[in-house]
């Protein structure tokens, strides 16, 4: 299943299960504010914008105009419902042909694993204004997967798929340096207490296939993994509290 097909399937449920991450959002706001010494309106390109969660939220608190691009018509339809005045373009970064130095900021939030990242990052370098533009990449590094999200723990095929499709952060930073960027990183970490209600929520979201990796496994793999997850987590809860950890990486690249 292609990324476009995956996200077209998820479009109707995406916002229900994939809310804005406040830690990530605050870092994005802080990095963009560094580009705003004047009242000049900044131009942002949201690559793989989906339903526009981040670009819409950023435009509400910062002086920016945004353009969102995505290969899924269904995701863009949801974005348009939320923000009819937004500029939403049905295309992937591979097909994009904006002029040189068209944008002050380019955002790629959990899209790098779905695209030819070398082509996409090279285009981003061309599209960014210099020397003050910023490319902001939100992603997961391999060590964050190996520490084990709950789904990876109980459905090993998910871990196999994600390790294969997500480029390592070190590799991304090395290529960014090769094409003319300098980089620095932010890491977020959120601990959550897993309760019985939280377990039921995990099962519900899993059945809905709310992340693209879940659309890439069979019904049998999914149902077997979720049954094991529910049984073992509920048993573990009898012994005491369970803490879940979610980490993300934000790469900030400047030309």
**Average pLDDT for 162-185:** 96
Q: Which two tokens stand for residue 86?
A: 């937004």
Q: Sort strands 64-70 and 134-139 into parallel, antiparallel or unpaired.
A: unpaired
Cα distances from 208 to residues 9, 61, 164, 185, 186, in angstroms, run 10, 32, 23, 32, 30
Q: In the predicted model, what is the mean pLDDT of residues 145-162?
A: 88
C-alpha span between 4 and 111 (Å, rounded):
11
Alpha-carbon distances, residue 172 vs 45, 119, 152, 155 (angstroms)? 19, 12, 23, 27
Helices in the chain by DSSP H: which ranges?
A: 3-10, 14-17, 22-33, 53-61, 73-82, 117-127, 142-146, 150-154, 156-165, 169-178, 196-207, 219-239
Q: Which long-range contacts (CB under 8 A, 24 or more apart) does 233-241 make?
A: 233/150, 233/194, 233/199, 233/202, 234/196, 234/199, 237/194, 237/195, 237/196, 237/199, 241/193, 241/194
Is a pLDDT exceeding 90 seen at residue 146?
no
Average pLDDT over residues 126-141: 95
Report how far residue 199's alpha carbon sits from residue 231's, in angstroms, rounded to the nearest whole number.
10
Of the two residues 144 and 226, the one the predictor is more confident about is 226
SS3 category, 86: coil
Instruction: Give the domain ranges of the chain.
Output: 3-254
Predicted pLDDT at 150: 87
What is the pTM (predicted TM-score) of this model? 0.93
Provide the pLDDT for residue 178: 97
Lowest mean pLDDT, pick from 25-39, 42-56, 166-180: 25-39
Across residues 210-235, what is the average pLDDT? 94
Question: Is 250:112 a contact under the CB 8 Å cutoff?
Answer: no
| Helix/strand/coil for 83 | coil
**% of the chain exceeding 90 in pLDDT:** 77
Instruction: For the chain, give the percent of residues with pLDDT over 70.
Output: 96
Instruction: Tell me the pLDDT tens digit for each residue of 57-113.
Output: 999 999 999 999 999 999 999 999 999 999 999 999 999 999 999 999 999 999 999
d(CA 116, CA 95): 12
pLDDT band at 128 (very low <50, low <70, confident <90, very high): very high
Q: Which CATH number does 3-254 carry?
A: 3.40.50.150
């Amino acid at each position: 299943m292609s990324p476009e097909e995956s996200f077209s399937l998820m479009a109707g449920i995406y916002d229900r299960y994939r809310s804005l991450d406040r830690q990530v959002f605050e870092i994005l706001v802080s990095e963009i504010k560094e580009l705003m010494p004047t009242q000049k309106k900044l131009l942002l390109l949201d690559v793989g914008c989906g339903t526009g969660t981040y670009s819409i939220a950023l435009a509400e608190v910062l002086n920016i105009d945004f353009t969102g691009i995505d290969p899924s018509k269904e995701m863009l339809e949801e974005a348009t419902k939320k923000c009819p005045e937004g500029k939403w373009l049905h295309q992937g970064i591979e097909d994009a042909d904006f002029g040189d130095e068209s944008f002050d900021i380019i955002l790629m939030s959990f899209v790098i694993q779905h695209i030819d990242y070398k082509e996409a990052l090279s285009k981003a370098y061309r599209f960014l204004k210099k020397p003050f533009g910023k490319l902001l990449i939100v992603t997961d590094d391999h060590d964050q997967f190996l520490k084990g999200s709950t789904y990876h723990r109980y459905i090993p095929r998910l871990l196999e798929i994600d390790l294969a499709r997500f480029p390592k952060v070190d590799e991304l930073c090395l290529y960014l340096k090769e094409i003319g960027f300098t980089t620095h990183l932010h890491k977020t970490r959120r601990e959550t207490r897993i309760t019985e209600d939280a377990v039921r929520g995990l099962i519900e979201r899993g059945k809905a296939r709310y992340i693209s990796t879940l659309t890439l496994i069979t019904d049998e793999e999914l149902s077997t993994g979720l049954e094991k997850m529910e049984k073992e987590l509920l048993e573990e809860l009898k012994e005491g509290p369970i803490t879940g950890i979610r980490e993300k990486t934000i790469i900030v690249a400047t030309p």
